[in-house]
Amino acid sequence: MSAPVTSNDGSDRRSAALRLGVVAFLSLVLSLVGTGLRAQNFQSPAPYAVLLDSASGTVLYEKAADELMVPASLAKIATALVAFQEITQGRLTLDSEIGISENAWRKGGGVSGGSTMFAILNSRVKLSDILQGLIVQSGNDAAIALAEAIAGDEPTFARVMTERVRALGLAKSVFRNATGVGDPEQKVTARELARLADHIIKTYPELYKIFGQREFTWNKIKQQNRNPLLAMEIGADGLKTGNIDEAGFGLVGSAVQNGQRLIVVVNGLKTARDRAQEARKLLEWGFRAFEARKIFGEGEIVGEASVFGGEKGRVALKAKGPVSLLLPRGAGERLNARIVYRGPLVAPVQEGTEVGRLLVTRGEVKTLEIPLYAAETVEPGTLQRRALDAVMELATGWVRKVLKRS
């Protein structure tokens, strides 16, 4: 375990050093893991890929995970998210009737030549069926009709999609339509798709079951779920495939084995066969090649952050619950950890307030990123203490500006 890095990027964003005892603890964990043979050096031909352990949030594998890519029908996962939120918040029910407009029928129905649930023009369809048409059949008509029912039109709904994923902390993904049809401004990242899928699985477990449905019949036309993982008997229970010329073949999938859930994202592959094979190989490797390690116990102090104008100059930080991650069996790789926060924090700092994030990397892999919270309350200090802190902040602020210019 290398020492945590203290950085200053000129925008007043800093990393606080972990305390010596914490550094020693993480080093011990890694030295124990490193006594075996080196972990398998897995490589995927997928241009974009992420493998995520749901329980710990550990990223097991990544490739161009933060680069923007074309989602194709993977965008419908965000379309489903908005619908699930509307249901949970009581604005829609599964029995709500959704109208099939001429726009939805022409752009997404059978006459369009794309994926469709074959909804009938000017008919009204229960939301429960629309969701099956959207998720199981990847129906563009279902997506457009849903968008119009919720937001009035598809462009407005796409803005809602973007706003909703922003609220989940997904800062890069941008949506321009509900279907995933090509648009130069519609881009996502593999990492954010994995996080979105994880959120849906954990937040809407009953509605998530639709993603695992093998087939759906509408208008007397039976269609199979396009997700090839569901037929592989590897514990897969969702989510979605996508393919347009600009995107290649992509898939967001999830599987559970022995109580462990993994989420896989691949995109940009040349064929549907490649997509299925790579997603399966990543999942099987993830289930086989990693083991869990706890690095912080429940309530354990992770580190500290500086406080300006407080009764004390630092506040202890902790995570919500224990912190664990998955490491390759027999790995000899070095973990790097740092605490990042915008600081110094300004007193008062209330206990339980989110003030930073713990970032852990394993080689080039951004293995773990979790929020950290104040473990105690720091009240404002005396006038003399605040004045001293002000002088120190003026001095360090001047130094930061000089370093930035140089």
- Catalytic center residues: 73, 76, 138
- Structure token pair of residue 321: 């619950």
CA dist., res. 101 & res. 141, Å (int): 9
Distances (CA, A) of 196 to 127, 189, 265: 22, 11, 11
- Structure token pair of residue 293: 């390690």
CA dist., res. 289 & res. 279, Å (int): 15
DSSP state of 129: H
**H-helix or E-strand spanning residue 268:** strand 260-269
DSSP state of 153: S
- Structure token pair of residue 304: 């500290």
Is the distance from CB of 29 to CB of 326 less than 8 angstroms?
no
Cα Rg for the chain, rounded, in angstroms?
24
Is the distance from CB of 171 to CB of 189 less than 8 angstroms?
no
CA dist., res. 94 & res. 26, Å (int): 48
- The HSE-up count of residue 151 (CA atoms within 13 Å, CB side) is 19
